[in-house]
Amino acid sequence: MTKTIVNSWNEWDPLRHVIVGRADDGHIPPEEPALDAKVPEDSDMRGEWGRRPQETIDRANELLDNFASLLEKRGVRVDRPTPIDHSKPVTTPDFHTESQFGCMPPRDVLLTVGSEMLEATMSYRCRWFEYLNYRPLMQRYFDEDPNFRHESAPKPRLTDADYHPDYLSEEIGVAKRLQWAEEKFFVTTEEEPLFDAADVLRFGRDLVVQHGFTTNLKGIEWLRRHFPDHRVHTVNFPGDPYPIHIDATFTPLRPGLILNNPQRRLPDDQRKMYEDNDWQIVDAAQPAHNTPPPLCYSSTWLSMNVLVLDPKTVCVEKSEVYQAEQMDKLGMEVVEVELRDAYAFGGGLHCCTADVYREGTCEDYFP
Ligand code: ARG
């Protein structure tokens, strides 16, 4: 059979085929350097680990299944991962951890650029084998699509040399974290290339990559060499004390329009390429909630973690009324999707998906 299965160059062209994660067997992993740095001092997750309560897994799966059927009803083909046993420990010659994470969210692991799907290095030990959840799909795409390029970035060693010990103290505090973020001093060192796929946004010829906890400068350099036909831009959002994954911070909606988290504004000296090409960067609406749901790693800014179905249509979480209202004012048709009870498994509507096919080709939006 010869047909194109995999093709996606940006975050907004009409979506035709997507992967939606599953909450099955989701775990809160035991302590490890990169993960500890991410958990706020006042979080209900400090010191907790083990399999997540079954009723939360069931509820999250119900919401993810509903999201998948909603997408299917709109003509989007949906694939689901095949969960591996996440209770199994991971041991390599370099590290050991007692459990894994889950098969949520796929956006963190898989980066689709054109006809390629690239498995990220990841930067948490508990997520080292997460790509295995998606291998059955990768094998199928490989068999069915003669142009599909299945790639895997070099597996990192993740020894202690990958993490700054300063980040491992019990009480760092938000003020110190913000100062470190400003200085671009993050938990990961420059020992070896590290990146999570969700630190990358695709704008056709341009890839915008957040330097933070989960992606280091060597990881960005690796991406630059791996995608020689792209321009790769490094961005920072100094207002974020826990900079992990760009998609609750900077959200392109269509050519010319990006939502930016007002607490994590893109610094002026990184705005030139957008301004020179008449792109607007607008502050996202406030989240509808004051706190994240229980046992959740993410902030309330999952409000802006939307999934764009096409340049006029966007999925917004059902309770995020201010975000929906803003979308409406920006001329987008809003599709409400209930997902908040699945946030704890790793994120919102953009996170819990990974692109397989969007219409369109590789365009240059910043000539
Ligand atoms: N760090 C973000 C926040 O808490 C959450 C990003 C989640 N994104 C993801 N792809 N898992 O605001």
For 39-96, what is each residue's pLDDT tens digit?
777 777 777 789 999 999 999 999 999 999 999 999 999 999 999 999 999 999 999 9
Mutation test of ligand 1: which of 201, 210, 247 has the most ligand atoms closer than 8 Å to its C-beta? 247
pLDDT cut 90: percent of the chain above it: 91
Reduced to 3 states (helix: H, G, I; strand: E, B; else coil), residue 78 is strand
CA distance 279 to 282: 10
**Residues with catalytic annotation?**
196, 245, 351
Largest CA distance in the chain: 57
Question: The tokens of 162 are what?
Answer: 């990958």
Determine the distance separating the centroid of ligand 1 and the alpha carbon of 302, expressed in angstroms: 7
Pull the structure tokens for residue 93: 């010659």
* Ordered domains of the chain (ranges, CATH): 15-238+348-358 (3.75.10.10)
Dist. CA 2 → ligand 1 center (Å): 37
**Vertex 259: Cα angle to 322 and 294 (nearest 5):** 55
Show the tokens assigned to 155. Answer: 């597996």
- Write the CA distances from 108 to 104, 158, 197, 215, 367, integer angstroms: 8, 17, 5, 11, 29
Any idea which residue has 């406030």 for tokens? 286
Which atom of ligand 1 sits closest to the CA of residue 198? 10
Which ligand 1 atom minimizes the distance to the CA of 302?
A: 12
Instruction: Give the pLDDT confidence of 336-354 residue by residue, as tens digits.
Output: 999 999 999 999 999 999 9
Determine the residue type at 71: L
Distance 221 CA to ligand 1 centre (A): 22
Q: What's the distance, CA 156 to chain centroid? A: 19
**234, 266 Cβ separation under 8 angstroms:** no
This model of the complex carries an ipTM of 0.97
Of 3 and 140, the structure prediction assigns the larger pLDDT to: 140
What is residue 105's three-state secondary structure?
Answer: coil
